[in-house]
Each structure stands twice: as C-alpha cells, then as structure tokens.
Structure 1
Amino acid sequence: MSSEERVLKIAQHPSPALHALIADRDSMSSHLLADALVRNRKCDATAIHPSDLMEVLAVREIDLVVIGAEINSDASGGFDLADTVCRTYPDLMIVLLLNETTHEAVVNAFRSGARGVFSRQKPIGEFLDCIEHVSKGYIWAGREETTSLLEAFRNIPAPSVLTADNALPLTKREFEVVQCAAKGKTNKTIASELGLSEHTVKNYLFRAFDKLGVSSRVELLFYLTIRGHTFGAVKPEADLRFE
C-alpha cells in the first residue's frame, strides 16, 4: 500500500474523537450507555465492570469515564471510585450517574471529582448532550442539580460570622463527627468508627450545626470549604483548633 493510499484510508476511517469507559451498576446498563455513545456520538465507548476500572485505566488511554453512583449495592461506592480515579488521573473527565439528585448526592458527586452529574430519570438524549459538553471541557448539571447547588450557596453563613483565627467553635468530639460527616459518611458508619450510638452521633451533629449556623450536611460542607478545611487528606491532629 502506497503512502497516498494509507493517508486516504485514515481519512476515510478517522480515529474516534473520544475514548470512554462506562462503569455502571450492572452490565446491561453499562452496555446500553456505551452502545448509545458509539451509535450517536461516534465514540470509542466500552462497558466495564467497576472493579476493573483502575486496572484498565492503567493500560489504556481514556478521555472520559462514566460511573454509576450506586455500585455493588453500596450507596456511596461510585463516589469513592470517582474520587480514586480523580486523584490518580486528575485530567480524566468524570460523569456520575445518580439515582436521586438530592442536595447531598449532587454536592458529593462534584466533590468526588465529577465534571458532569446526570440523573437516571432523564432521557438518553440529554445523557448524550451531557457527554458532549463535558468532553469539550464544560461542567454539566441539570436544572434540579443546579438548583441544589445554588440553594446550598445561598444558605452558607456569611463570611462575617467567621472567627478571626479561623478556629471552629467545636469540641474535639464534635469535630470528629463533623469530620466524618464532611467525608459523606452515614450516621451508622460514623457511629461504628467512633464507637458511638447513632443517636449520639445525631446529637453531636445537631450541636455542631447550631454552633456553625448551618442546617444540613451540604451547608456544612460548603461552610468548611470556604474556611479552608478539606478532609480528603486530613491535617494532623496537632494542627487542628478546638474550643
């Protein structure tokens, strides 16, 4: 084959513009989404089991990953997987699929590194639009998801209420509970890790909310973020401030 013929063949069969992996909650859903991307967006999209995702990313050049938030019967498994992917491959685009677009789910999705958040209740056409926008470098959130974020921002206490030394007005135990809550852990998980009852965890959270002037975990997360408190890599205890 001559060089002219090779150039012509490449021009007739160009490489897909986007290489994507779909790691959803079950094989059927993953394959349906991958097929839709291949047919409608001419992507190189492959369905994959969530447990194999990191191994495949290590050996293939991938541009975008779609992850189901609820995988392996774990309500937060997809968030954890997205966070691992984001930390390992920070330039990789991530879209998270949500069963329910609650305030906490939306915020946790973006906090896990997602550049797009998509509700399963929406039609496949909107999913394709989401992928196209995210692949171009845009952030995607539907109307309900955007409303959740805006409401959370509106309810953040004004910066004027912050203390001059940026210390949190919490006891050490309250801070430990808040620290776990900010990581997206449930009251049951927090109770197990700290050796407390779920009722006691709820009481600590209510007291912390009251002291900080917030009313939900979402507002708590934003409040801590604007103060520079991040819990992906927690500071040594000696650096934390308590009253």
Structure 2
Amino acid sequence: MTIRVVLADDEGMIRAGLRMLLDYQPDIEVVGEASDGAEAVSVVLRTRPDVLLIDIRMPRVDGIEATRRIIEELPATRIIVLTTFDEDSYVTGALRAGASGFLLKVSPPEQLLDAVRTVADGRGLLDPAVTLRVIQSLATAPQHDPAHASRLGELTDRETDVLRLVARGLSNAEIAAELYLREATVKTYLSRMLMKLGLRDRVQAVAFAYESGLVRPGSH
C-alpha cells in the first residue's frame, strides 16, 4: 500500500529535497505541498494524506496551530513535526496538539523514511536526539488535568506500570527488562493501555502521564 504524504515548510528548497527523497521510494507518494500552516490545513483537508511532514515555524499559522486544526478535523492523520534543537517548547506544544512524531531537520534520509513508515503504521515516534528533551520539558512544566487523573483508574496495575515507564522514555525491551516480562507481553499491555485511555501512540502516552500527574518532575 502506498503511503500518501503532504509536505509543509516555508522554504521551497527543503520541500523540493523532501519531495525528491520521498517520491523516489516505491511505497511513498507526495500528494501535496504547503508553504505555511494555513495552506497546510487546506491541503490536508483536500488530499487526506496518511502522513503530514510539517515545520514548526511558518508564516500566518505555525505548525502547532496547524496540527491542532488538522487533528480536530481529521483525527486519523499522522503528523511528523520537523524541529531543531532550540525548539523544546514548540515540540511539547505540538505533542499536546496531537502530533505523532518529532524529527530533527538534520536527521539522515534513512531516518526520515523510517519515521514516515513508522507513523503511517500507527506507531508514534520521537527522534532519539529529542526524546529526553521532550520528556524533561514536560516534567518541568506539567499541566495537571484532573480529568486525565480520573482516567488512570481504568488501568490495571501492570498497565499503569507500563505507562509510567513509557513516560520515562524506556523502549519496549527496556520496559520488559524492568518488569521481568517478555517484550511481546509489554506490547500487549501497551496496546490495552492506549485503547483504554483513547490514545493513539506512546508519544501521546508520554504527555498523558505527565498531565495526569502519574509521573512528576524528578520521579523514577
């Protein structure tokens, strides 16, 4: 199945480079481009792609607001935010808006391709170089949501343990080692936890864990 992608960046050269890379792949097709956030929303609503690659800093409407508007209209759209090292606050804002992945603009081509395929497959993705920074940013400025906290009661103890470790940035293999479980069992708990909480992926789970108060700054 072909993965349909829209590109949103205010720099034409970047869009051209991304299009060249993506269109060369037999399983990926670029179906639209946008030069600002407002245009990105329009193009996505018209073309209904599987994945949107979007820059954060753009004219008229930035990537965070565009992400929020798109997720409100088309919640199944998978959005990868392209970021730089100095944009931690933007990244956490995009996460809360509904982005499924975060990737540094300097990432190698193979990492970008893997990111597109990963989020198109329904999984969330954080660039390893920004994962810890995103988690630290959430931890230092948590926005406690009582509604989120009440939903924690829907989880079993094991599902809660998995959520807590996901929020600490651990991989499935690391969670399995921590809880003395098989990795396949961790995946099962993760899937059940996401379904019960109405979350799409582990990226959203990280934000939920901090906003619910399950994980607090300095907790381990």
TM over 0.5: yes
Q: Give the equivalent residue in structure 1 for 2:25.
A: 40
Q: Distance in 2 between matches of 1:57 and 1:136?
A: 18
Q: Distance in 1 between matches of 2:19 and 2:7?
A: 6
Give the deviation of 1:77 after TM superposition.
1.1
Aligned residue identity for 1:131: V
Give the deviation of 1:20 after TM superposition.
1.0
Q: Distance in 1 between matches of 2:41 and 2:58?
A: 15
Q: Distance in 2 between matches of 1:26 and 1:102?
A: 18
Give the deviation of 1:132 after TM superposition.
1.1
Q: Distance in 2 between matches of 1:223 and 1:141?
A: 16
Give the deviation of 1:155 after TM superposition.
5.1
Give the deviation of 1:102 after TM superposition.
4.2
RMSD of aligned Cα (Å): 3.2
Q: Distance in 2 between matches of 1:149 and 1:80?
A: 18
> Is the CA contact (8 Å cut-off) linking 2:45 and 2:70 kept in structure 1?
no
Q: Distance in 1 between matches of 2:29 and 2:105?
A: 22
Task: Determine if the alignment matches structure 1 residue 226 to structure 2 residue 197.
Answer: no
Give secondary structure in 1 for the equivalent of 2:53.
Answer: strand
For residues 1-243 of structure 1, what are the structure 2 equivalents within 5 Å?
A: 17-49=2-34, 50=36, 51-72=38-59, 77-100=62-85, 102-152=87-137, 225-226=211-212
Q: Distance in 2 between matches of 1:101 and 1:37?
A: 26
Q: Give the equivalent residue in structure 2 for 1:3.
A: none
- Show structure 2 runs of 5+ residues with no match: 147-206, 214-220
> Is the CA contact (8 Å cut-off) linking 1:30 and 1:47 kept in structure 2?
no
> Is the CA contact (8 Å cut-off) linking 2:32 and 2:43 kept in structure 1?
no
* Compared CA separation, residues 38 and 149, structure 1 to 2 (3 A): same
Aligned residue identity for 2:130: E
- Show structure 1 runs of 5+ residues with no match: 1-15, 163-220, 228-243
Give the deviation of 1:46 after TM superposition.
3.5
Write out per-residue CA displacement over residues 96-115 of structure 1, whole angstroms, 9 at most, x where no aligned residue: 10123543232112112110
Aligned residue identity for 2:44: L
> Is the CA contact (8 Å cut-off) linking 1:35 and 1:45 kept in structure 2?
no
Q: Give the equivalent residue in structure 2 for 1:7.
A: none
Give the deviation of 1:223 after TM superposition.
9.8
Higher gyration radius (CA): 1
* Compared CA separation, residues 68 and 226, structure 1 to 2 (3 A): same
* Compared CA separation, residues 153 and 54, structure 1 to 2 (3 A): closer
Q: Distance in 2 between matches of 1:55 and 1:156?
A: 32
TM-score, normalised via structure 1 length:
0.53
* Compared CA separation, residues 58 and 147, structure 1 to 2 (3 A): closer
Structure number with the bigger relative contact order (C-alpha 8 A, sep ≥ 6) is 2
Write out per-residue CA displacement over residues 112-158 of structure 1, whole angstroms, 9 at most, x where no aligned residue: 2110101112212211111111111111112232112333466578x
Give the deviation of 1:64 after TM superposition.
1.1
Runs of 4+ in 1 over 3 A off after TM superposition: 152-157, 221-224
Matched residue count: 151
> Is the CA contact (8 Å cut-off) linking 1:86 and 1:113 kept in structure 2?
yes
Give secondary structure in 1 for the equivalent of 2:25.
Answer: helix
